[in-house]
């Protein structure tokens, strides 16, 4: 019986899943962070071993890593995978490959909006990518950008400019509601962008309460993300009257308004074509298994 191992490796944790030819799960495991760029490699390899201790024999392994950014990274990761799983065919890919492979068949573009934001499509044997840029250069419409808005508003305009609940959320996040201490705590974070992303839903709630700053931020960031999707489809997907777009990432589940405004703005922008937006339900690790199966597909 053939079996395939998928690994979804991020900055917080890694997940492992083994499935057979029929798509039945044979093994599931997990462990600590495995970001190729930021997790110390000895620690990263230990987490992969822990996540896959006791797996059955597998014919192929696909590991999708956050932080896998260069051909040299890819080659190093694949050498490590060959040592960990001798006898299996292996491939290392960036983490977004697993998400795209988990999307429903016929997806024209996948819009990932979590801490950051990026748009992807299959293109030949590779992936076309738009947006991203990280928190310094881009990530429009991401949880980071929304969290930044509420903290920036609080710092520059004071507590009365946002809701009481948002002030409380900021105080809980940073251990203080004193603006200077908030900023000090923010810059002391290992990842300020990820920290700010936890406050994204406060913009949604404040928009519901009628705060103009939040409504403006929602429209501005949604519009920028929609423009990224529109340009991506125009550049990388054949012209059609109906496009299938899959939304993935934590932002879409943080509050319904993020998805509803994105759908409406994209519908308006794509006219006279139509973009049908669905939310990804399959976990990315299943996409990694699908990539592993491709290694031995006839």
Of the chain, the end-to-end C-alpha distance in Å amounts to 16
Backbone angles phi, psi at 91, to 5 degrees: -150, 140
**pLDDT the model gives residue 35:** 87
Q: What are phi and psi of 265, to 5 degrees?
A: -65, -40
Pair 257, 204: CB distance under 8 Å: yes
Q: What is the pLDDT along the chain (298 residues), one digit of tens a residue?
A: 789 999 999 877 899 999 999 999 999 999 998 988 888 899 999 999 999 999 999 999 999 998 888 999 999 999 999 999 999 999 999 989 999 999 999 999 999 998 889 999 999 889 999 988 777 787 899 999 999 999 999 999 999 999 999 999 999 999 998 999 999 999 998 778 888 999 999 999 999 999 999 999 999 999 999 999 999 999 999 999 999 999 999 899 999 999 999 999 999 999 999 999 999 999 999 999 999 999 987 6
The rounded distance, in Å, linking the Cα atoms of 248 and 112 is 5
Give me the pLDDT at residue 214, please.
97
Pick among 3.30.420.40, 3.30.70.890, 1.10.10.10, 3.40.640.10: CATH of 3-94+283-294 = 3.30.420.40
Q: Which two tokens mark 53?
A: 């201790």
Q: What is the dihedral of CA 244, 247, 253, 254, to 10 degrees?
A: -130
The residue ranges of every structural domain in the chain are 3-94+283-294, 109-137+217-279, 143-211
Backbone angles phi, psi at 272, to 5 degrees: -85, -5
What confidence score (pLDDT) does residue 10 get?
85
Q: Which helix (H) or strand (E) segment is 174 a member of?
A: helix 164-174
Written as six digits, the tokens of 107 are 């997806």
- CA 79 to chain centroid: 26
Torsion sign (Cα): 215, 218, 220, 222: negative
> Residue 86, Cβ neighbours under 10 Å: how many?
8
* Residue with the two structure tokens 């979590």: 114
Give bridge partners of residue 64 from the DSSP assignment. 8, 93
DSSP reduced 3-state for 18 = strand
Supply the pLDDT for residue 298. Answer: 67
Order of strands across the sheet that contains 60-65: 25-31, 14-20, 3-9, 60-65, 89-94
Three-state secondary structure call for residue 69: coil
Task: Please state at what angle helix 71-84 crosses helix 41-52, rounded to 10 degrees.
Answer: 40
Q: What pLDDT score was predicted for residue 171? A: 95
Q: What are phi and psi of 271, to 5 degrees?
A: -50, 135
CA 131 to each of CA 137, 142, 230: distance values in angstroms, whole numbers, following the listed order: 9, 11, 11
């Amino acid at each position: 019986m053939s079996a395939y191992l998928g690994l979804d490796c991020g900055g917080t944790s890694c997940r492992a899943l083994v499935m057979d030819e029929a798509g039945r799960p044979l093994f599931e495991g997990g462990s600590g962070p495995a970001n190729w760029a930021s997790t110390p490699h000895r620690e990263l390899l230990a987490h992969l071993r822990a996540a896959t201790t006791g797996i059955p024999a597998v014919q192929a392994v696909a590991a999708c890593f956050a932080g896998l950014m260069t051909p040299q990274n890819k080659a190093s990761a694949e050498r490590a995978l060959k040592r960990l799983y001798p006898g299996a065919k292996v491939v290392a890919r960036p983490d977004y490959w697993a998400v795209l492979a988990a999307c429903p068949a016929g997806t024209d573009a996948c819009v990932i909006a979590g801490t950051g934001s990026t748009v992807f499509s299959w293109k030949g044997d590779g992936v076309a990518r738009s947006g991203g840029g990280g928190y310094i250069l881009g990530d429009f419409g991401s949880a980071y950008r929304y969290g930044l808005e509420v903290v920036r508003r609080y710092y520059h305009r004071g507590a009365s400019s946002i809701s009481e609940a948002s002030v409380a959320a900021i105080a809980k996040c940073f251990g203080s509601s004193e603006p200077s201490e908030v900023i000090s705590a923010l810059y002391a974070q290992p990842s300020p962008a990820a920290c700010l992303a936890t406050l994204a839903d406060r913009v949604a709630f404040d928009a519901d309460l009628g705060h103009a700053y939040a409504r403006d931020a929602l429209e501005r960031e949604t519009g920028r993300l929609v423009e990224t999707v529109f340009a991506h489809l125009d550049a990388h997907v054949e012209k059609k009257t109906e496009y299938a777009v899959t939304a993935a990432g934590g932002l879409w589940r943080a509050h319904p308004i993020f998805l509803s405004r994105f759908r409406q703005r994209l519908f308006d922008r794509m006219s006279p074509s139509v973009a049908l937006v669905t939310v990804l339900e399959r976990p990315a690790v299943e996409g990694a298994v699908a990539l592993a199966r491709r290694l031995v597909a006839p």
